[in-house]
Chains A and B, each alone.
Chain A
Amino acid sequence: MDRIRDAFQASHKLLVPFVVAGDPDYARSLHIATAILDAGADMLEIGFPYSDPLADGPVIQAAAVRSLKQGTRLVDCLRLVRDVRARSPKPLVAFTYVNPLIQYGAERFFSELAAAGGDGVIVPDVPLEEAGEVASAAEAHGIQFIPLVAPTSGEERVRAIVQAARGFVYCVSSLGVTGERQQVSRQVRELVDLVRKHTDLPACVGFGVSQPEHVREISEFADGVIVGSAYVRRIGDALREGRDPVDAVRSFTEQLKQAARESTHPR
């Protein structure tokens, strides 16, 4: 069973939202995750909150703080994967920084992630050079190690990275940390082309994608679109304004999904 590969067999481009486990609390993050998948998302990235998220901008940092203040531990994040899996057959990808992962123990982490029904992992602070141990532990438990490529990577690195990739290749849209940006950078199309030159694996684009127009634009040339900060901000805004974050993420998902479907570019 390869849920990630199967998801990419769809006739449309994939919408891959990201949320932080335990934001704003365990029960509501489970509702949020389930609602996003029910509303049409094709895959979900579940962020494991960390005290020092180097690759994240202020929106996701704040969500991690909210979650950690609620006492979210790594075991709770794994439980969330299990609880979401019980409600949805779609692929689930853990997004975690390396330190929590190695403190828990890579073997134990991936064995429990697999048992919980997780399909893949993204570790934003583990580049190819440091990936060996973590990637092979993931592989041993059937968890796909999804690497990132950046506009600064260059062809030589892209080729080496995609050779070791599993699941799909995460293309970072532009320089910088996660966060909403006004427009899609021109570099990312070239990056996706470079990835395609060296692998048949799907290429998804993330970082800075915040609006349906972005999703439409990226769906023209990539296989999937990852949207993080724009979701996380909607959750924070809804909470602050006394609205239900579940409603907010559901309608946002429907908008983005519509945009992804409008892409005419065949896979």
Chain B
Amino acid sequence: MSHYPFPDESGRYGAFGGRYVPETLMSALLQLEQDYLRLSRDESFQEELKYYLQQYAGRPTPLYYAERLTKHLGGPKVYLKREDLNHTGAHKINNAIGQALLALRTGKRRVIAETGAGQHGVATATVAARFGLECTVFMGEEDMRRQALNVFRMRMLGGEVVAATSGTRTLKDATNEAIRHWVAHVDDTHYIIGSVVGPHPYPMIVRDFQRIIGDEAKAQILQQEGRLPTSVVACVGGGSNAMGIFYPFIEDDGVELIGCEAAGHGLGTAYHAASIARGRPGVLHGAKTMLLQDEYGQVQPAHSISAGLDYPGIGPEHAHLAATGRATYVPVTDDEALEAFFLLSKLEGIIPALESAHAVAYLMREAGRYGPNDVVVVCLSGRGDKDVEQVAAREGDEVNGSHP
């Protein structure tokens, strides 16, 4: 494959991306792009970023050979990229640190963020605490209920959590509220978008701050196996962990890139979040991308058991990778993800986030495609502590003997 040139100068990934935002934000986005491009070449910025990723977030994360899972599945040799071992429990901290440093370098003392599962909100509140920034996180009212523990964590860290009560009261609406707030406070506030979504330059910035996942995984698999993997598998909501691990492999034609979309109750129902499988090109949150929508372009509610995948759009670069066939996007249902959640817990002693369980579930289903000489890297994007209560309630179990 030839050199991969995206995004282009207009912020596009082929037919996707761009900047569909109110004029009030345009100057800020253009300035952010300039500042970011300058800092991405600035050695002292890169050194500072590296320092915090190592000393604060705990990087590099291991690439762990999941021996018992491998034996159980009887297919490929499975490695887990352990993003769950990061400080705050997910890959989100990589981007939050990068963007907090960006905010500091551009003189912004206040940051805002949207969050679905709460992982990005927690990561943002964490770095805001560390760097002394004022922090407001927008979260759907429904997600605040599903992820009450993370709401508490954000508040403990000094963050203000604002409930998004419009629309479906999930990640989509939290993002709307964050953008609206940013329109009103763009002069003193940096918006730390949590995924590879939104107007240019955000999908590029978030991808670049997350590519550390793929850079490390590539070096680690070469060291441990002496070759590139057959497949790299990651879950996709907005798609930041997937874009982060895919990006360094894009020009390695032999490596299959597989994104797992939340199929919720199934693609045959109205309850899923599979924007590649069931969406059409449209504009959401400032970017042209694949979008769940009705005939008239009204955005349709998404559904997933995992709040972090419960999003009717997807990052524009994923839409591009799907359109060109460079990456493949597959649906994984709530039930499959739950099964993987339990399997990984019991076999490896690793409780995955429900989001990440979608990637493990793909392998459970498709292990038969692979032979014993195949190597698969799965991005274990986060840990599942936040989901234990929800899963227990759903399964009718008891947590500490006291849960209904």
Which residues of A approach B to under 8 Å, CB–CB? 50-52, 54-55, 57-58, 61, 68, 73-74, 97-104, 124-130, 147-154, 157, 161, 172, 175-177
Q: Is B214 engaged at the interface, CB distance under 8 Å to the other chain?
A: no
A124 lies within 8 A of B297 (CB): no
- Min CB–CB distance B33 → chain A (angstroms): 12
- Min CB–CB distance A82 → chain B (angstroms): 18
Contacts of B180 in A (CB 8 A): 54-55, 57, 176-177
Contacts of A57 in B (CB 8 A): 180
Q: Is B21 engaged at the interface, CB distance under 8 Å to the other chain?
A: yes
Query: Which of A54, A154, A161 gathers most chain B CB within 10 Å?
Result: A54
B21 lies within 8 A of A175 (CB): no
CA gap between A103 and B291 in the complex, in Å: 11
A175 lies within 8 A of B18 (CB): no
CA gap between A125 and B199 in the complex, in Å: 11
- Min CB–CB distance A189 → chain B (angstroms): 17
Q: Is B295 engaged at the interface, CB distance under 8 Å to the other chain?
A: yes
Q: Which of B28, B176, B183, B185 has a CB less than 8 Å from the CB of A52? A: B176
Contacts of A126 in B (CB 8 A): 20
A125 lies within 8 A of B27 (CB): no
- Min CB–CB distance A50 → chain B (angstroms): 7
**B24 — nearest CB in chain A belongs to which residue?**
A150
Interface majority SS (helix, strand, loop, mixed), chain B:
mixed
**Known contacts A52-B284, A54-B286, A99-B291; 5 further A-B pairs (Cβ under 8 A):** A51-B298, A68-B298, A104-B296, A127-B20, A177-B22
Contacts of B187 in A (CB 8 A): 152, 175
Contacts of A129 in B (CB 8 A): 10, 18-19, 26
CA gap between A128 and B22 in the complex, in Å: 10
B21 lies within 8 A of A125 (CB): yes
B184 lies within 8 A of A176 (CB): yes
Contacts of A124 in B (CB 8 A): 22
B167 lies within 8 A of A152 (CB): no
Contacts of A152 in B (CB 8 A): 23-28, 186-187
B282 lies within 8 A of A103 (CB): yes
Query: What would be 17 A-B contacts, judged by CB atoms less than 8 Å apart?
Result: A50-B298, A52-B284, A52-B299, A54-B21, A54-B22, A54-B285, A74-B296, A98-B283, A128-B23, A129-B18, A130-B20, A147-B23, A150-B24, A153-B23, A153-B26, A172-B23, A175-B186
CA gap between A127 and B199 in the complex, in Å: 12
Contacts of A150 in B (CB 8 A): 22-24, 26
Which residues of B approach A to under 8 Å, CB–CB? 10, 18-28, 166-167, 172, 176, 179-180, 183-187, 280, 282-286, 291, 293, 295-299
Contacts of A176 in B (CB 8 A): 24, 180, 183-184
Contacts of B282 in A (CB 8 A): 99, 102-103
Query: Which of A52, A58, A125 gathers most chain B CB within 10 Å?
Result: A52
CA gap between A30 and B167 in the complex, in Å: 26
CA gap between A157 and B29 in the complex, in Å: 13
Q: A68-B298, A102-B282 are in contact. Are A127 and B184 (CB under 8 A)?
A: no
**A125 — nearest CB in chain B belongs to which residue?**
B20
CA gap between A94 and B167 in the complex, in Å: 23
Q: A73-B296, A102-B282, A150-B24 are in contact. Are A55 and B19 (CB under 8 A)?
A: no
Query: Which of A97, A126, A130 gathers most chain B CB within 10 Å?
Result: A130
A125 lies within 8 A of B283 (CB): yes
Q: Which of B25, B179, B184, B296 has a CB less than 8 Å from the CB of A100? A: B296
Contacts of B166 in A (CB 8 A): 58, 61
CA gap between A74 and B284 in the complex, in Å: 18
B22 lies within 8 A of A148 (CB): yes
B184 lies within 8 A of A98 (CB): no
Q: Which of A99, A153, A161 has a CB less than 8 Å from the CB of B297? A: A99
Q: A150-B24, A157-B27 are in contact. Are A127 and B297 (CB under 8 A)?
A: no
Q: Which of A61, A127, A147 has a CB less than 8 Å from the CB of B19? A: A127
A154 lies within 8 A of B296 (CB): no
A103 lies within 8 A of B23 (CB): no
Contacts of B296 in A (CB 8 A): 73-74, 100, 103-104
A161 lies within 8 A of B23 (CB): yes
- In the complex, the 9 A-B pairs of residues with the closest C-beta atoms, listed nearest first: A103-B297, A176-B184, A100-B297, A150-B24, A51-B298, A99-B297, A99-B283, A148-B23, A55-B22
**A100 — nearest CB in chain B belongs to which residue?**
B297
**A150 — nearest CB in chain B belongs to which residue?**
B24
CA gap between A112 and B299 in the complex, in Å: 23
- Min CB–CB distance A160 → chain B (angstroms): 11
Contacts of B21 in A (CB 8 A): 54, 125, 127
- Min CB–CB distance B196 → chain A (angstroms): 19
Contacts of A98 in B (CB 8 A): 20, 283
Q: Which of B19, B184, B286 has a CB less than 8 Å from the CB of A177? A: B184
CA gap between A52 and B172 in the complex, in Å: 9
B176 lies within 8 A of A54 (CB): yes
**B165 — nearest CB in chain A belongs to which residue?**
A58
A153 lies within 8 A of B19 (CB): no
